[in-house]
Amino acid sequence: MHVQCLQVGMIETNCYILSDEARGECAIIDPGDEAGRVAAAVRKSGCTPTAILLTHGHYDHTEAVADLRRTYPGVTVYLNREDTPEFGAPGMLFPPVPDTRHYAEGDTVNVGNLTVKVLSTPGHSKGSVSLLCETALFSGDTLFAGDCGRTDLWGGDMEEMLRSLGRLGCLDGDFTVYPGHMESSTLELERKRNPWVRQGMRMLRTGNA
């Protein structure tokens, strides 16, 4: 497994290329902008993209999808349906991404021989998911290094956010955390220092906020 990060667009979204180098296949996670730069990085990796995985439907995570689909007609695009205009999400913030396959809690996507597992982690948006692959946790705008995503946009909910962060904090073992913005971290460090993760874990253990 190999993970490459590119910061794309005006608000520096982290776009990740997750590769199974042995099989020569990769997934593009959250291509928020700069399709040309993303495609150049994919070319350099020598891998063929088979999937575009979206952690949620906000425009700054999805804007390069259409261009990349033209470059790679064979890719399948995955998004949780709760973040789509068909399910009431406002189109300004959640622009329609045509031809998506909807994924949700418990689904898996194969990338070469890698298995990516989908965890539903609402709070930043209704359809926010986190993606687990081996020791990597792609946390979208749910979990950031030392912080969490905002909950004041459409579909956001602080109590759900805390529950989601608590759930991530309670995962077994350690993971490298690859968030949707800013620097990466580890889950163990976030359990120690991230007040939102700590509050969420407490909340899950005691059953109340």
Residues of this chain that bind Zn ion (CB under 5 A): 58, 141
Least distance CB 58 / Zn ion (angstroms):
4
Sequence-distant (6+) residues with CB within 8 A of 85 are 91, 94, 96
Least distance CB 61 / Zn ion (angstroms):
6
Q: Give strand pairing partners of 53.
A: 29, 78
Cβ closest to Zn ion, residue 183 vs residue 188: 183
Least distance CB 35 / Zn ion (angstroms):
19
Cβ closest to Zn ion, residue 1 vs residue 153: 153
Measured CA to CA, the distance from residue 126 to residue 13 in angstroms comes to 19
CA distances (Å), origin 60, targets 32, 33, 81, 94, 120 = 5, 7, 17, 9, 20
Residue nearest to Zn ion (CB): 58
Under 8 Å between Cβ of 179 and 141: yes
Least distance CB 55 / Zn ion (angstroms):
8
Please choose, from the candidates 25, 3, 26, the residue with its C-alpha nearest in 3D space to the C-alpha of residue 16: 3
Least distance CB 172 / Zn ion (angstroms):
27
Cβ closest to Zn ion, residue 57 vs residue 112: 57
Cβ closest to Zn ion, residue 20 vs residue 63: 63
Element (H, E) at 116: strand 114-120
Cβ closest to Zn ion, residue 34 vs residue 141: 141
